[in-house]
């Protein structure tokens, strides 16, 4: 990632978003801010509107009403409207649905991330190659750089697409369930990478996560969505309460603070355990 700070002071703000598919509204009056140096996690049950909100932030889903603005950190004035190329130099999204390329090497795929910075048909510059190398290194895909993507597992390909986003060198990074298809080791590495990008590079990170413990381990700010509306927003400690989570997810949930890590941990109680506890009481 760019360490000069020229792009990594960008904040992305959404205010009063109303979103839908055709004539069916699915998101109602949602506001969220993705700010430099912080990880903001959008969580909630299936169908709560998380991914739709994220896609609207990336200009990939039309907005029925409300607005999305980009501003330099600390500035109260939004940046003037950006062209598609300018926007792609500022915001990037790792989506769930991506093409499955064939016949290309990992390095060639990651080089796609440099397109917003290049003139049409221009060769890679030294700056392009440096950004590609750094993205490969950050995602642990440098050892497979010359391999064909046809030889990769789903988890490996997931990291390659993340490297492509990092090569884009934007100040705002949006990720839609980036730990999908990854084993435990790479789940932890992706979460660590998000934290490093925010802490070390000042990147504004917005991420949709299903795993609440992943969100608790990585996020500074939580936005909990339920039925297309914001049910709660704040820190992990403020949002991850047993009462709120039980209400939103529709089953008994317990929370506690881990004594060793100081992190909130969330535990859904399966039916069998609920019966055991009820019998014991």
Q: What is the DSSP string of 187-247?
A: HHHHHHHHHHHHHHH--EEEEE-S-HHHHHHH-SEEEEEETTEEEEEE-HHHH--HHHHHH
Answer with the residue of higher pLDDT: 83 or 241.
241
- Provide the residue range defining the domain that includes 33: 10-250
Tokens of 67: 């607005």
Q: Is residue 240 part of a domain?
A: yes
pLDDT of 274 higher than 80: no
What integer best gives the mean pLDDT of the chain?
90
Q: Is residue 4 part of a domain?
A: no
The 10s digit of each residue's pLDDT in 174-208 is 999 999 878 898 899 999 999 999 999 999 999 99
Answer with the residue of higher pLDDT: 213 or 6.
213
Q: Is residue 257 part of a domain?
A: no
Give me the CATH number covering residue 221: 3.40.50.300
Q: Would you state the pLDDT for residue 244?
A: 97
Answer with the residue of higher pLDDT: 49 or 73.
49
Q: Is residue 77 part of a domain?
A: yes
DSSP 105: B
For the entire predicted model, the pTM comes to 0.90
Q: Would you state the pLDDT for residue 164?
A: 95
Q: What is the number of domains present in the chain?
A: 1
* Average confidence (pLDDT) over 44-60: 96
């Amino acid at each position: 990632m760019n360490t000069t700070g020229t792009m990594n002071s960008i904040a992305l703000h959404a205010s009063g978003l109303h979103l839908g598919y055709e004539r069916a509204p699915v998101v109602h009056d949602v506001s969220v801010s993705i700010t430099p140096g912080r990880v903001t996690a959008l969580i909630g049950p299936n169908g709560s509107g998380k991914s739709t909100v994220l896609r609207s932030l990336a200009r990939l889903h039309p907005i029925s009403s409300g607005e999305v603005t980009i501003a330099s950190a600390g500035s109260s004035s939004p940046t003037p409207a950006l062209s598609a190329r300018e926007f792609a130099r500022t915001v990037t999204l790792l989506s769930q649905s991506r093409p499955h390329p064939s016949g290309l090497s990992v390095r060639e795929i990651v080089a796609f991330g440099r397109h917003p910075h290049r003139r049409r048909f221009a060769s890679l510059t030294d700056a392009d190659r440096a950004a590609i190398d750094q993205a490969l290194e950050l995602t642990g895909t440098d050892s497979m750089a010359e391999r064909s993507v046809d030889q990769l597992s789903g988890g490996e390909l997931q990291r390659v697409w993340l490297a492509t986003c990092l090569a884009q060198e934007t100040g705002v990074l949006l990720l839609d369930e980036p730990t999908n298809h990854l084993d435990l080791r790479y789940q932890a590495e992706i979460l660590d990478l998000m934290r490093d990008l925010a802490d070390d590079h000042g990147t504004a990170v917005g991420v949709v996560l299903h795993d609440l413990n992943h969100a608790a381990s990585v996020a500074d700010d939580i936005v909990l969505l339920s039925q297309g509306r914001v049910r709660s927003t704040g820190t992990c400690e403020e949002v991850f309460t047993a009462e709120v989570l039980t209400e939103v997810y529709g089953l008994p949930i317990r929370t506690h603070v881990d004594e060793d890590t100081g992190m909130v941990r969330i535990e859904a109680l399966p039916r069998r355990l609920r019966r055991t506890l009820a019998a014991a009481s």
